[in-house]
Amino acid sequence: MVTPIENRAAVTQNHCVPFVPDAVDRRLLRLLQEDAGRTLRELGELVGLSPSAVQRRIRGYRAAGVVAREVAVLDPAALGPTTLAVVLVTLDHESAEHHAAFRTRMRHEPRVQQCYDLAGQWDYVVVLVTDSLAECRALSDRLFLGDGNVRRYDTLPVLDPVKTGLTVPLPEP
Amino acid sequence: MVTPIENRAAVTQNHCVPFVPDAVDRRLLRLLQEDAGRTLRELGELVGLSPSAVQRRIRGYRAAGVVAREVAVLDPAALGPTTLAVVLVTLDHESAEHHAAFRTRMRHEPRVQQCYDLAGQWDYVVVLVTDSLAECRALSDRLFLGDGNVRRYDTLPVLDPVKTGLTVPLPEP
DNA sequence: CGTGAAAGTTTGATTGT
DNA sequence: ACAATCAAACTTTCACG
């Protein structure tokens, strides 16, 4: 007998058709975003399904790329004094090569926590995690001045991380 | 017999003394930030420890608050078209009550993924996750104009999420 | 989707360094 | 104080109904 192709997973990998979650999928995904450490039995009890049904669904989320990864979130403050900063950056030369070089640099620097390409007056916003404002300054100089292709950057030090996370909203109804 | 107090955990909970990781702790924490789905045996093989030694350390990270939580990271693009936007906000009235009200609003809105209190010309930077620029506009109006305490805000739509994550740098040496 | 048996993982007591 | 070992409890996995 021929194994039937799983539609949702297969098509979604073509980056064409989105994964369409039902009400239970949305509840499960909300629970997994909150705490990925729960057992299949716990999750099953919370959504009213057997452990293996939960497992099948979660397997589907991974296959469809809906669940990209599972990670531990560290609290930098527990490891010692930490400075966060949001940096707005505009490049000087706007060629594809210059942009690619900048992005590669951001992806390789561990103290760059996030980097987004922007529309508008600024080209990028970058979130830096350092031990101190001094280290932040030194890193900015190296990252944004060393290369010579940054026209201007503006550093906005973070006073308080009011809300952090990577949570994606999943409407209830 | 009296149970000895676990120094690192107990003191760190006072938000005073940081947790001081050794070389193995740093390797483990780096692995857990990358992928929290590995088994204790796998982790043990990667750092050269027995599964139960790994378990004891990880238990310590949780107790010390170094590992805050374990979450599944979803790819919003796999669920359909998504618009990310970075919004810079300055409040009108700067009293403690006005700031508290704003923060509460950010924390309660699921489409606010991140919010940081800033030093400098802007009071806050907010990351919004919506289905479209139109929904982003509607949400901004409700969040930043509905309340009447925002002096001005600047929306920077995201063209490409070059690097995302909550990873905290853990130096090697 | 649920059930149940097999495989693998986590847990904690114990012992040794 | 920390690591290894081992057995019991629990989870995950998968074939089948």
Q: Specify the CATH number for the domain of residue B30.
A: 1.10.10
**Which of the nucleotides in strand C have any atom less than 7 Å away from a protein CB atom?**
1-4, 8-13
- pLDDT mean over B21-38: 98
Please indicate, yes or no, whether residues A34 and A92 belong to a single structural domain of this protein: no
Please indicate, yes or no, whether residues B49 and B104 belong to a single structural domain of this protein: no
For chain A, what is the domain count?
A: 2
Residue B171 inside a domain? The answer is: no
Please indicate, yes or no, whether residues A88 and A151 belong to a single structural domain of this protein: yes
Model confidence at B90: pLDDT above 80 = yes
**Residue B26 DSSP SS3:** helix
Express each pLDDT in B35-67 by its tens digit: 999 999 999 999 999 999 999 999 999 999 999
Model confidence at B12: pLDDT above 70 = no
What value does the mean pLDDT of chain A take?
92
Please indicate, yes or no, whether residues B86 and B57 belong to a single structural domain of this protein: no
B150: β partners: B91
Please give the Cα distance from A9 to A28 (Å, whole number).
Answer: 17
Q: How confident is the model at residue B15 (pLDDT cuts 50, 70, 90)?
A: low
CB atoms within 10 A of CB A7: 9
CB contact under 8 A, A165 and B168: no
Please indicate, yes or no, whether residues A8 and A60 belong to a single structural domain of this protein: yes
pLDDT for A13: 45
Please give the Cα distance from B63 to B18 (Å, whole number).
Answer: 12
The secondary structure of residue A148, as a DSSP letter, is S
Residue A167 inside a domain? The answer is: no
Residues 6+ apart with CB under 8 A from B158: A116, A117, A118, A119, B83, B84, B85, B86
Please give the Cα distance from A108 to A91 (Å, whole number).
Answer: 18
CA A3 to chain B, closest CA, distance in angstroms equals: 24
Q: How confident is the model at residue B2 (pLDDT cuts 50, 70, 90)?
A: very low
Which among B61, B79, B104, B153 is the top mutation candidate for probing chain A, defined by the most A β-carbons within 10 Å of its own β-carbon? B79
| Domain stop point among A64, A91, A114 | A64
Residue A71 inside a domain? The answer is: no
Domain that holds residue A97: 76-157
Please indicate, yes or no, whether residues B19 and B59 belong to a single structural domain of this protein: yes
CB-closest option in A18, A74, A84 to B79: A18
pLDDT for B146: 86
**A51 CB neighbours strand C below 7 A:** yes
Which among B74, B117, B155 is the top mutation candidate for probing chain A, defined by the most A β-carbons within 10 Å of its own β-carbon? B74
Residue B106 inside a domain? The answer is: yes
Model confidence at B173: pLDDT above 90 = no
Residues of chain A with pLDDT under 70: 1-16
Nearest residue in A to B85, CA atom: A118
CB contact under 8 A, A110 and B169: yes
**A107 CB neighbours strand C below 7 A:** no
HSE-up of residue A31 (Cα within 13 Å, Cβ side): 18
Residue B60 inside a domain? The answer is: yes
pLDDT for B24: 98
Round to a whole number and report the distance in Å from the CA of B53 to the C1' of C13. Answer: 14
**A40 CB neighbours strand C below 7 A:** no
A156: β partners: A86
| Domain stop point among B64, B90, B116 | B64
List of B residues 51-110 with CB within 7 A of strand C = 51-52, 55
Please name which of A124, A125, A128 lies closest in space to residue A98, comparing C-alpha atoms: A124
Residue A44 inside a domain? The answer is: yes
**Which of the nucleotides in strand D have any atom less than 7 Å away from a protein CB atom?**
1-6, 10-15
pLDDT for A16: 64
CB-closest option in A70, A111, A156 to B72: A70
Please indicate, yes or no, whether residues B118 and B142 belong to a single structural domain of this protein: yes
Round to a whole number and report the distance in Å from the CA of A19 to the C1' of D16. Answer: 28
Model confidence at B29: pLDDT above 80 = yes
